Amino acid sequence: MGPLTDLRPVPDNQEVFCHPRTDKSLIVELLELQAHMQGEAAARYHFEDVGRVQGSRVLQVQSVQPLNLESLALRGCCQEAWVLSGKLQVAKENQQVAKDVTLHQALLRVPPYQTDLLVTFNHPPSSVGPENLSPPSWNLGDFEQLVTSLTLHDPSIFGPQ
């Protein structure tokens, strides 16, 4: 396990960014390549796995779309990319009532490093707030910018190849 945040433990293969004024978060994870799955099935697998790990119930996969590799800064090593939007029913550790949370996920498949790179944007219902937030609340445009601008600076994070 990596460092302990104020919210929950964060494993070494994950970075979590929490918006300072809303319940929104962005999570970047390096996961083992699920080579036995291709295409849309791989995106759905990771969505369902996030739900299982969080102890959530998958309510609905709203859309799964291929992502244009030419739009990615990682296009040189990414062989397949998908964006999925869906809803999970999630109860926080200290709450009894589960809430419906919209998740947007980008799955970048990086076979040269045996890695599935998963970027998740959590958009819970309590995130709706005044438009004059300082700093402004994150939106899907911010998520898209993160996904398309990710670069690999040091391949040694994947271990010896």
> Does residue 56 lie in a domain region?
yes
Give residue 44's pLDDT. Answer: 95
The dihedral formed by the CA atoms of 62, 113, 151 and 15, expressed in degrees to the nearest 10: 60
CATH number for the domain including 23?
3.40.1000.10
Give residue 3's pLDDT. Answer: 41
> Does residue 2 lie in a domain region?
no
Let me know: does 71 contact 93? Beta carbons within 8 Å. Answer: no
> Does residue 161 lie in a domain region?
no
> Does residue 133 lie in a domain region?
no
Residue-level pLDDT, tens digit, the chain, 161 residues? 344 345 557 667 888 888 888 888 899 999 999 999 999 999 999 999 988 887 787 789 999 999 999 999 999 999 999 999 999 887 766 667 778 888 999 999 999 999 999 999 988 775 445 555 556 778 888 899 999 999 999 988 888 76
Give residue 37's pLDDT. Answer: 95
Query: 16, exposed or middle or buried, with CB in 10 Å at 0-12, 13-18, 19+?
Result: middle
Give residue 8's pLDDT. Answer: 58
> Does residue 23 lie in a domain region?
yes
The single-letter code of the amino acid at 17 is F
Helix (H) or strand (E) holding 43: helix 39-53
Question: In which domain, by residue range, is 118 found?
Answer: 16-125+139-147
Neighbours of 44 (CB within 10 A): 19
Which two structure tokens, joined as six digits, stand for 73? 């800064």
> Does residue 104 lie in a domain region?
yes
> Does residue 34 lie in a domain region?
yes
In whole angstroms, give the CA distance from residue 91 to residue 125. 13
Give residue 89's pLDDT. Answer: 85
Give residue 54's pLDDT. Answer: 76
For the chain, the domain total comes to 1
Give residue 1's pLDDT. Answer: 36
> Does residue 80 lie in a domain region?
yes
In whole angstroms, give the CA distance from residue 117 to residue 107. 6
Provide CB contacts within 8 A for 124, sequence distance 6+: 23, 24, 90, 99, 101, 102
